[in-house]
Each structure stands twice: as C-alpha cells, then as structure tokens.
Amino acid sequence: MQDLKLLEYLETFLTGNRRERFKKVLPLRTKHFTVATEDVYQLHNTSAVMRSCDVFGIQELNIVEEVNSKSIDREIAMGAQKWVDLNRYHSTKDCISDLRTKGYQIVATTPHRDDCELIDFDITKKSCFFFGRETEGLSQHVLEEADCYLKIPMVGFTESLNISVSAAIILQHVTAQLRKSEIDWKLTEEEIIEKRFDWIKKTLKDYDAIVERFQTLQ
C-alpha cells in the first residue's frame, strides 16, 4: 500500500490535464501485439514507427541494431519515446529468442511471400510484427524463423510501402480489431501501476526530490 500512497502523492504534482491523459491512455495500452525493426537504416523511419506504436496503443517497440545503431529522433517521435518502452538488441537471434520466451509468435511482414493478407490475420495470438531494412527487407534469419508471413494487399505498380507507412497500416488494423474482440489484451493492474510510476518519473523534473520529501513525511 505504501507504493500506492506514493503514487497518489506524486500525481498531485501533475497538471490536471496530464493526470486525465494518463487515466484515458493507460486502459487502451496493450502488450498483446508488439513491433520489431531490424537494422533500419533511416533514423526517421524507426522514430516514425515508435510514434505509430504510441498512437495505436502498442506499449513496447523492439529494435535490432546488429548493423545500424542510432538514437530515436525526438522531433519525429514527437515525445513518443516517453510513453513507449524501447527494447534494444544487438542481434536478431537474441531478439527472437526473447520474444518467444514472452509468448510471441514471429510475424514477418513482407510482400514477397504468400501466407496471410492483413484482413485475414488472426488477432487471437500474441504477435510481434517484424519490419526490415528499407532496401533489403527482412533478413533470411527472420524469414526462416517466422511463424507466419503477413502482407498488405497492393494493386498498383509499386511493390512495397515505406516501413513506417506499413507499420501504421498494420497496427491500425490489428488494434482496431483487437478492441472489438473479447480477447484479454489490456495491461495487467500491476503493469498499469508500473507505467504510472514510469510516466510520472519522465514527466516531473524533480521526481527524486519529491520522492525523498514523501519519505521524510512518513
């Protein structure tokens, strides 16, 4: 109960608008779906994917930096780096291994394999959507390890979409379907409390001093 008392105390230092935003956003967050980007070269693409994760309620983004390692572009992410949890991996193998231990199936997004079109995707399974490099696409390792292949139907001359556009289209569709379903997709109460603490810490500049002050009052 001590933690909850501290949480309530910390929230008094937030603006009313920020408290309401937390209250509105957190119940719509999910870890049922997650996203992984594999050695994306253009920084703005990864940043834009993070922004889409935030917009559509995806709580975690996984970044494989086996070849390319860069920081999130704050301007393009538009503050999303505060609200989306970022997991970084030095190899695709480590990323896939970790995701499997968390119960995710590996979904390779590619226009070059015939498996499942977006409209037919089974949303009941915990899934991680993998997006590859701008020119080469996903690595052979991801394609071999994938549990299924997912593609966005296209009827024009262009064979593929920009990674950030693809991610936005897929996430919008699957999260919309998820919220209409009876699947238990929301964060647990424990995860919600953890995120409240985390988001407050990222919001309040004098967070540590406020916590110390609270402890002296107990």
Note the pLDDT tens digit of each residue in 131-188. 987 667 888 999 999 999 999 888 887 777 888 899 999 999 999 999 999 999 999 9
pLDDT value, residue 157: 77
Domains present along the chain, CATH in parentheses: 34-190 (3.40.1280.10)
pLDDT of residue 210: 95
Contact 72, 47 (CB under 8 A): yes
Q: Which residue has the higher pLDDT, 122 or 111?
A: 122
Give me the chain's average pLDDT, please.
89
How far is the C-alpha of 41 from the C-alpha of 39, rounded, in Å? 6
**Annotation-wise, does 161 bind a ligand?**
yes
Residue partners of 24: CB distance under 8 A and separation at least 6: none
For residue 175, say whether it is annotated as part of any ligand binding site. Answer: no
pLDDT tier at 69, thresholds 50, 70, 90: low
Q: What pLDDT does 40 receive?
A: 74
Cα 116 from chain centroid? 22
194-208 residue pLDDT tens: 999 999 999 999 999
Contact assessment for residue 45 and residue 73, using Cβ atoms and an 8 Å cutoff: no
**17 phi and psi, to 5 degrees?**
-65, -40
Closest to 87 measured CA to CA, from 57, 63, 51, 54: 63
